[in-house]
Amino acid sequence: MSLCQYSIVFALLFVGAFGHGDEELFLPLKTLQKIQHNHNEPTCSSQKSRSENGAVMLEMKHKDYCFRSRGDLSKRLQKRLLADDIRVLSIQSHIKNVSSKKVEALSQTTTQIPINSGVSMQTLNYIVTATLGGRNMTVIVDTGSDLTWVQCQPCRLCYNQPEPLFNPSISPSFQSVACNSSACQSLESATGNSGLCGTNSQTCSYLVSYGDGSYTKGELGQDHLVLGSSSVDNFVFGCGRNNRGLFGLASGLMGLGRSDLSLISQSSGVFGGVFSYCLPSTEAESSGSLVFGGDTSVFKNSTPISYTNMVPNPQLFSFYFLNLTGMTVGGVAVQDSSFGRSGFLIDSGTVITRLPPSIYKAVKAEFLKQFSAYPSISGYSILDTCFDLSAYEEVNIPTIKIYFEGGAEMEVDVAGVFYFVKSDASQVCLALASLQYEDEIGIIGNFQQRNTRVIYDTKQSQVGFAKETCSFM
């Protein structure tokens, strides 16, 4: 057995027993199947928060197990991957459009919030609960968006959500944002659409459209935002009166990008422009955390944090770009001249990591070489490297590591290597996909970020990685 493989044979108990660098973890195939096809009832009705050493921690869950989708599993999985592909195409289109326009961009407490897995949008997968104007709101977490918004009363067109719509008329701290305000003028850099005034200069209207045809329209407002035990006064957000699309049953979206209207920028006086998350698996009982603030002592990482500098991109300032310098499969370095030549986007809303065609081809070839003992089968949706593992109780999976400028590394958790299309393991696919063209921007998706502490420090302009078994407790 190679020292650079996961051997799926022993109980989950052994997973945490092997430290960084051992290159081999032990996990039963049935445990992996459970992680991706859990049938327990979801337990997301009351997400927790706490403060520790000045940090605010919010419990984070996966959306699929908080707002369960009904219907045929295979169709839901296919829709999820198709929606993910649409998001990636939208990101690539936005990058090309902005680049062609050559648009020029623009000591603290810590808070930890539970982060949960999330439903039907199925590309923006993780949710947390925050308190806005005294009301708890369950929102999708997205590092690829800037404006935070929630559905508001009175609503002309709203999708269904289990929580009551936000009602600004009963919030004593709500105020409309005027058209001549700096917040209204910041909308174009945050959303791609400038603020609209119409006949009423006292209100600033906004529009955010997403690549799959989803959108939210409404007016900008400001209110008192509470994250754990910390608060942000006069927080500017979108009060959505006309919302449509694949947002599942969440009340809205939390924008963690870098523009002036993002939550990170608006709370920089409280948290210093630093946040991090540990994304849990899709098991119903799994929960991770979204942490605001730079106190690393609240983390439960099992390996040291390694940092890499963000790649500056004035034209796309809002996104988080990194320089990916290499990858290994089973300890073998993948050879390709494309490494280190262009920035990769790290994104909490994209599910499957996308690699430039040449890098993907090299990674796929090395993986197939090391996994040749197992039968290959036809691909599934965007995933073209698939296997039938239903006849095996023990499967040795090559480890995958991603390396960044400055020596930072991210080891893909064993649960992020394979995507189980069928719960009986008769169709299991390598959870990586190729971009269509070499000049497109690579994306590190959330499927590969699970059980990793990812730290975003916007003041120092760096991103850190460390292994962590995600748990809010």
Is the pLDDT assigned to residue 16 strictly greater than 50?
no
Lowest mean pLDDT among 70-84, 109-123, 191-205, 307-321: 109-123
Is the pLDDT assigned to residue 120 strictly greater than 80?
no
In the prediction, which pLDDT does 274 show? 96
- Report whether 379 contacts 429 (CB < 8 A): yes
**pLDDT-derived band of residue 24, with 50, 70 and 90 as boundaries?**
very low
In the prediction, which pLDDT does 19 show? 34
Name the strand (E) or helix (H) holding 238. strand 230-244
Beta strands in 316-415 (DSSP E): 321-329, 332-333, 343-346, 353-355, 376-377, 386-387, 395-398, 400-404, 409-411
Lowest mean pLDDT among 31-40, 284-293, 301-310: 31-40
Helix (H, G, I), strand (E, B) or coil at 77: helix
Token look-up 């034209």 returns 315
Task: Give whole-number Cα distances, 119 to 52, 80, 150, 209, in Å.
Answer: 30, 10, 16, 19
Rounded Cα–Cα distance for residues 292 and 111 (Å):
4
- Match domain 5-106+108-467 to its CATH number in 3.40.35.10, 3.10.20.30, 3.40.190.10, 2.40.70.10: 2.40.70.10
Question: Of residues 232 and 250, which shows the higher confidence score?
Answer: 232
In the prediction, which pLDDT does 234 show? 96
Determine the distance from the C-alpha atom of residue 37 to the mean position of all C-alpha atoms in its chain, rounded to a whole number: 20
Average pLDDT over residues 21-37: 52
Is the pLDDT assigned to residue 148 strictly greater than 90?
yes
- Which of 8, 48, 53, 222 is CA-nearest to residue 138? 48
Spans of all domains in the chain: 5-106+108-467
In the prediction, which pLDDT does 68 show? 53
Cβ-based neighbour number of residue 26 at 10 Å: 19
Average pLDDT over residues 381-410: 95
**pLDDT-derived band of residue 102, with 50, 70 and 90 as boundaries?**
very low
What does the buried/exposed string (b/e) look like for 184-210 if buried means 16 or more CB atoms within 10 Å of the residue's CB? Answer: bebbebbbbebbeeeeeeebbbbbbeb
In the prediction, which pLDDT does 192 show? 78
Q: Tell me the catalytic residues.
A: 142, 347
Residue 170 backbone phi and psi in degrees, to 5: -105, 5
Residue pLDDT, tens place only, 198-241: 666 678 999 988 766 788 999 999 999 999 889 999 999 999 99
Question: Of residues 342 and 402, which shows the higher confidence score?
Answer: 402
The neighbouring-strand residues paired with 323 are 343
Angle formed at CA 381 by CA 286 and CA 387, multiple of 5 degrees: 75
